[in-house]
Chains A and B, each alone.
Chain A
Amino acid sequence: MVVYFGLFIFDIMLFNSIEFLLFLPIVFVLYWFVFNKNLKHQNLLILFSSYVFYGWWDYRFLSLIFLSTIVDYIIGLNIPKQDSEKKQKLLLWCSVLFNLSVLGFFKYYNFFVDSWIDLFSSVGYEIKSVWTLNIILPVGISFYTFQTMSYTIDIYRKKLEPTKDFISFASFVSFFPQLVAGPIERASNLLPQILQKREFKYEQGVQGLRLILWGMFKKVVIADSLSPLVNEIFRDYELLNGGTLWLGAIYFAFQIYCDFSGYSDIAIGTSKLFGFELMSNFKFPYFSRNIGEFWRRWHISLSTWFRDYLYIPLGGSKLGKWKSIRNIFIIFLVSGLWHGANWTFIFWGLFHSILFLPSFIFNTNRKYTTSIIAENTILPSPKEFLQVGITFGLVTIGWVFFRSETIVDSFNYLNHMIFDVSIPNKYRSELISVVVFIFIEYLIRKDERLNLKLFKNHLFNYILYAVILLFIISNFYEKSDFIYFQF
Chain B
Amino acid sequence: MKNFILHIFKFSITVVFVQLIILVLSYSVTKFPYYFDNYSIGYVNFKDVDLSFFGDSHSEYGFNDKVISKLLNNNTRNISLSGNTLYNNILVLEKVLFFNPNIIVNLSIGNHNVVESYFLNGYEVDQEIKRWFSYYNSRETLYLFQKYPKEFLKGFFGIISTIGIETYGFSEGVSRMGVLMDSNIERTRISQNYFNSNPMWLNKLTTVIKEYPNTKFKIIRVPVHDDVFSEEQFYLSIIEKITEFDNVDFQDYQNLDLKDHDFRDFTHLSKSGAEKLSEEYFRRN
A98 within 8 A of partner (CB): no
The one of B18, B154, B162 in contact with A477, judged by C-beta atoms closer than 8 angstroms, is B154
Judge whether B157 and A466 touch: CB under 8 Å. Answer: no
Q: How would residues 204 to 224 of chain A score, 1 for a CB under 8 Å from any chain B CB and 0 otherwise?
A: 011001000000000001000
Judge whether A239 and B180 touch: CB under 8 Å. Answer: yes
Q: How would residues 165 to 187 of chain B score, 1 for a CB under 8 Å from any chain A CB and 0 otherwise?
A: 10000000000010110010100
Interface size on A, residues (CB 8 A): 27
Specify the main secondary structure of chain A where it touches its partner: helix
Which candidate, A44-52, A245-253, A297-305, A467-475, is the interface stretch facing chain B?
Answer: A467-475
Judge whether B11 and A465 touch: CB under 8 Å. Answer: yes
**Closest approach, in angstroms, between the C-beta of A423 and any C-beta of chain B?**
11
Which residue of A425, A428, A470 has the most chain B CB atoms within 10 A of its CB atom?
A470
A32 within 8 A of partner (CB): yes
Using A239-B183, A425-B177 as known contacts, say yes or no to A466 and B154 having CB atoms under 8 A apart.
no
Q: Which residue of B lies closest to A241 (CB)?
A: B179
A202 within 8 A of partner (CB): yes
B101 within 8 A of partner (CB): no
Using A428-B38, A473-B158, A474-B158 as known contacts, say yes or no to A202 and B18 having CB atoms under 8 A apart.
no
Specify the main secondary structure of chain B where it touches its partner: helix
The one of A32, A466, A467 in contact with B1, judged by C-beta atoms closer than 8 angstroms, is A32
B221 within 8 A of partner (CB): no
The one of B4, B15, B22, B185 in contact with A206, judged by C-beta atoms closer than 8 angstroms, is B4
Judge whether A466 and B4 touch: CB under 8 Å. Answer: no
Using A470-B158, A477-B154 as known contacts, say yes or no to A202 and B3 having CB atoms under 8 A apart.
yes
Using A200-B4, A205-B4, A428-B38 as known contacts, say yes or no to A466 and B14 having CB atoms under 8 A apart.
yes
B10 within 8 A of partner (CB): yes
Q: How would residues 460 to 487 of chain A score, 1 for a CB under 8 Å from any chain B CB and 0 otherwise?
A: 0011011101110111110000000000
B19 within 8 A of partner (CB): yes
A198 within 8 A of partner (CB): no
Q: Which residue of A lies closest to B162 (CB)?
A: A474
Judge whether B18 and A200 touch: CB under 8 Å. Answer: no
Contacts of A474 in B (CB 8 A): 130, 157-162
Q: Give the residues from 217 to 264 in chain A that come closer than 8 angstroms, CB to CB, to chain B.
A: 221, 239, 241
Q: Which residue of A lies closest to B177 (CB)?
A: A425
Cα distance A476–B151 in the bound complex, in angstroms = 12
Cα distance A133–B125 in the bound complex, in angstroms = 43
Q: How would residues 214 to 252 of chain B score, 1 for a CB under 8 Å from any chain A CB and 0 otherwise?
A: 000000000000000000000000000000000000000
A84 within 8 A of partner (CB): no
B275 within 8 A of partner (CB): no
Q: Which residue of A lies closest to B185 (CB)?
A: A239
The one of B14, B18, B157, B179 in contact with A426, judged by C-beta atoms closer than 8 angstroms, is B179
Using A428-B38, A477-B126 as known contacts, say yes or no to A470 and B4 having CB atoms under 8 A apart.
no
The one of B14, B154, B177 in contact with A465, judged by C-beta atoms closer than 8 angstroms, is B14
Contacts of B126 in A (CB 8 A): 477
16 contacts between A and B (CB under 8 A): A202-B7, A205-B4, A209-B7, A239-B185, A426-B179, A426-B180, A429-B38, A462-B11, A466-B15, A467-B160, A470-B19, A470-B158, A470-B160, A473-B157, A474-B161, A477-B126
B residues neighboring A (CB under 8 Å): 1, 3-4, 7-8, 10-11, 14-15, 17-19, 22, 38, 126-127, 130, 154, 157-162, 165, 177, 179-180, 183, 185
A residues neighboring B (CB under 8 Å): 32, 200, 202, 205-206, 209, 221, 239, 241, 425-426, 428-429, 459, 462-463, 465-467, 469-471, 473-477
Q: A467-B160, A471-B160, A473-B158 are in contact. List 20 more A-B contacts (CB 8 A).
A: A32-B1, A202-B1, A206-B4, A209-B8, A239-B180, A241-B179, A425-B177, A429-B38, A429-B165, A465-B11, A466-B17, A466-B19, A470-B15, A470-B19, A470-B157, A470-B160, A474-B130, A474-B160, A476-B154, A476-B158
